[in-house]
């Protein structure tokens, strides 16, 4: 197995954080349809169809585990890994349509198994080898950031529902 340097691990973690934030950042652009979803069997029928039907640019972000993540259960279990990422709050599922101003969380997150999920990947387990003193602190910070991000999305959904209700009450 190839030894990864601390610098390489830091770059990998930063890239992961940036990718998770793309959906958040894209939400500030009011004319882009955003659909963040896990890889599913009929993605062409559901996600891509919605993106194709939108009259403007569309962004579809998908959590698709790769071999470099070092999934303990192996690459044959990527669909289950995607499901766990959503269930644990690591990767929130949502979509936003700027035409209707609808922001919708597509799955609830439970953070009780968050550490179990991230401990199932080499990229996080390697952190324990690289920086054992700060390992638990960094993972807790990661979990807190995920909870804050999820709660922000919950707020966006509530705001979207409130606006929709106000428009229908008019």
What residues does 35 pair with on adjacent strands? 60, 95
Q: Which residue has the higher pLDDT, 9 or 144?
A: 144
| Of 23, 18, 22, nearest in space to 156 by CA | 23
Give the end-to-end CA distance of the chain in Å, rounded to a whole number. 64
In order, the DSSP letters of 19-51 are: HHHHHHHHTT-TT-EEEEEE--TTHHHHHHHHH
Q: Which pLDDT does position 30 carry in this prediction?
A: 40
Q: Which pLDDT does position 1 carry in this prediction?
A: 44
Q: Which pLDDT does position 66 carry in this prediction?
A: 77
Across 136-159, average pLDDT: 92
Q: Write down the pTM of the prediction.
A: 0.71
pLDDT in tens, 2-58: 454 554 444 444 444 444 444 444 444 444 444 454 444 445 456 667 777 777 777
> Considering only 48-52, 122-126, 131-135, 136-140, which range has the smallest mean pLDDT?
48-52
% residues pLDDT > 70 (the chain)? 72
Yes or no: say if 137 and 115 are a contact pair by the CB < 8 Å rule.
no
Q: How many CA atoms, within 13 angstroms, populate the side-chain half-sphere of residue 132?
A: 1
């Amino acid at each position: 197995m190839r030894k990864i340097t601390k610098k390489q691990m830091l770059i990998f973690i930063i890239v992961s954080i940036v990718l998770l934030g793309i959906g958040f950042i894209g939400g500030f652009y009011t004319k882009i349809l955003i659909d963040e979803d896990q890889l599913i069997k009929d993605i062409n029928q559901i996600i891509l169809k919605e993106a194709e039907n939108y009259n403007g640019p569309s962004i579809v972000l998908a959590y698709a585990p790769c071999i470099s993540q070092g999934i303990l259960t192996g690459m044959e279990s990527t669909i289950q890994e995607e499901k766990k990422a959503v269930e644990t709050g690591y990767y929130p599922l949502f979509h936003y349509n700027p035409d209707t101003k609808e922001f919708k969380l597509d799955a609830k997150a439970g953070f009780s198994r968050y550490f179990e999920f991230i401990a199932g990947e080499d990229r996080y387990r390697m952190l324990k080898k690289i920086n054992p003193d700060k390992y638990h602190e960094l993972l807790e910070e990661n979990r807190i950031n995920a909870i804050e991000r999820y709660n922000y999305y919950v707020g966006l959904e509530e705001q979207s529902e409130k606006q929709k209700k106000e428009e229908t009450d008019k």
